[in-house]
Structures are given as structure tokens and as C-alpha cells.
Amino acid sequence: MSKDLDFICPKCNFGLHFYLYAYVVNDKGERVFCPPPDPEATARKVLGPNVTDELLKRRTGLNESFMCKTCLMEAVLDGSKDPQVCPACRSRDLVRTKDLLKKTCPKCKKGAIEENPARKAQPVV
């Protein structure tokens, strides 16, 4: 069992990461991570001192982790702005990683996905 996985199935050791973070789209069209505790400050720095609230709203979002039920690949997408399509197999059968907690494992179909106890024991760096 990998200590860096956030969610696991205790039956087959299938694991998933969990991501949920703010981003801003810079002038090159790239998503830039906006760290807590004040992601808006980073967004304003990237967009410039005179950014309007409307532009800030249009160019910011939340990336989160999804899993494809077809190929079991993980993808990080903005659930409200990105097409809900697996980048690996093009399936539209995606589920938010957090919604898999306490549900039947999509890989072995025997265990239930739970938080990784080894991850909880790791110190926060």
C-alpha cells in the first residue's frame, strides 16, 4: 500500500489521489496553482493589479480529481468548466474521486474505498 495515496481499497490495494485546488488562467492560457490560505491574492498577482472582479471570476476555478470508470485513470479537471471526458480513453463515465468514499471499489468490486490510514499518519510538511 502506497503511503502517498489518499483513498484505497483494502481488498485489492487500488488507490486514488484526491485533489481540490484553486487556479487562475494566465495570459498564455496556462492554469497556475493558487495556494491557500489566500488563493485570490495569487490570482490577482497573475492577472495584474487592475483586474476586474468579472475577469477574476472568468479566469479562476477549482481543479479536482476524477476517476474514469471505464479505464480507471485519474484526471484533474474543473468540474464546472472542463468537458467531463477521460483524457485517456475519451469515456464520459467519470466520477469525482471524493464521491467514491465508502462505495464499492471500481476495480475489484469486492472492497469499499476508504481513506488511506497510512496517509493520515504522515506528517504535514
Give Cα separations from 112 to 96, 99, 109, 116 (angstroms). 15, 12, 8, 12
Segment among 3-17, 49-63, 110-124 with least mean pLDDT: 110-124
Residue ranges per domain, the chain?
A: 7-119
Q: Is the pLDDT of residue 124 over 50?
A: no
Q: Which helix (H) or strand (E) holds 115?
A: strand 114-115
Closest CA to 37 of 52, 59, 22: 22
The alpha carbon of residue 83 and the mean position of all alpha carbons in its chain are separated, in whole angstroms, by: 14
Structure confidence by residue, pLDDT tens digits, 65-107: 999 999 999 999 999 999 999 999 999 999 999 999 999 999 9
Decide if pLDDT at 2 tops 70: no
The pTM (predicted TM-score) of the whole model is: 0.83
Cell numbers representing residue 25 in the block: 488562467
Q: How far apart are CA 18 and CA 122, in angstroms?
A: 15
